[in-house]
Amino acid sequence: MLSSKIKEPPNTWDQWFEGLVDADGCLLISSAGYASLEITLDIYEEQALLQIKQELQGSVKLKPKARAFRYRLHHKAGILKAITKLNGLCRNSKRVVQLQKLCQKLSIDFISPQPLNLENAWFAAFFDGDGTVGYSFKNGWPQLIISVSNKNAVDCEPFRQIFGGVLSMDKRSNTYKWSISKKEDIFFFCAYLKKHSLRSHKHKRILLIPEFFKLRQMRAYLHSPETPTYKTWC
């Protein structure tokens, strides 16, 4: 079922939860007709999944071979609560289809999402799931790169629209990647994250960004390996 009604303004946690589901979640209906929600994050992100467990119950278990933790929710009361939070916010091209099927099964009107803006925590959550902070040397100069990868270009496009940068195909991983490398774009993104903080281990890397630019300006990477300046760079 489709509905044109507008959902009441969500709280920040709901926006973050929905963004994480968009990035690394999956809404399933088993062959027996049971609904479930799963979110899989790498091994460093147990605490993020435990926050969701505290809110919705469910379980968080280690997948040793995958070096990841998986959150799983399948009891009906929890699924209904999760759908209430996701409905009207879900926007990932795959996740929308999955949510529509769940809503149809449970006789719930599907609510289309509203356009994103800087007041929405979705970007922080999606970055928690699919974002990267890294750097490489370009012509001998350290280049900081912030990026988000996804199988579908349309699901990275909101980052380009709001934060600038470029959207391109990464042939090595067969994914689309949004990225920014200009200092002003990076600090604009960091300013957003001061209001909508990351809940993953990537938060620590974001906090180091001002120090990165300070040390780069000093050319700390060219100092002798024995010096405190070089060790700070490392």
Pick from 54, 87, 111: which residue ends a domain?
A: 111
The answer on 171 and 87 residing in a single domain is no
The domain in which residue 130 lies consists of 122-233
- Number of domains composing the chain: 2
Please check whether residues 147 and 91 belong to one and the same domain: no
Please tell me the distance from the alpha carbon of residue 17 to that of residue 86, in angstroms, as a whole number. 8
Q: What is the pLDDT of residue 4?
A: 38
Judgement on whether residues 6 and 81 belong to the same structural domain of the protein: yes
Domain boundary among 89, 111, 133: 111
Residues 104 and 155 occupy one common structural domain: no
pLDDT in tens, 55-80: 999 999 998 888 999 999 999 999 99
113: CB partners within 8 A, 6+ apart: 88, 89, 90, 91
Contact between residue 21 and residue 95 where contact means Cβ atoms under 8 Å apart: yes
pLDDT above 70 coverage of the chain, percent? 96
CATH number of the domain residue 186 falls in: 3.10.28.10
- The first and second tokens of residue 92, run together, are 């990932």
The answer to whether residue 116 sits within a structural domain is no
Domain assignment of residue 162, yes or no: yes
Rounded CA separation 100/56 (Å): 20
In a domain, 24, yes or no: yes
> Within its chain, how far is the Cα of 26 from the centroid?
14
The tens digit of pLDDT for each residue in 179-204 reads 999 999 999 999 999 999 999 999 99
Q: Which residue has the tokens 């010096």?
A: 227
Structure tokens at 44: 């460093």
Residue-level pLDDT at 6: 43
Whether 97 maps to a domain, the answer reads yes
Query: Which parts of the chain register pLDDT below 50?
Result: 1-8
Establish if 117 belongs to a structural domain. no
Are 127 and 227 contained in the same domain?
yes
> Using CA atoms in the order 78, 83, 85, 91, what is the torsion angle rounded to 10 degrees?
140
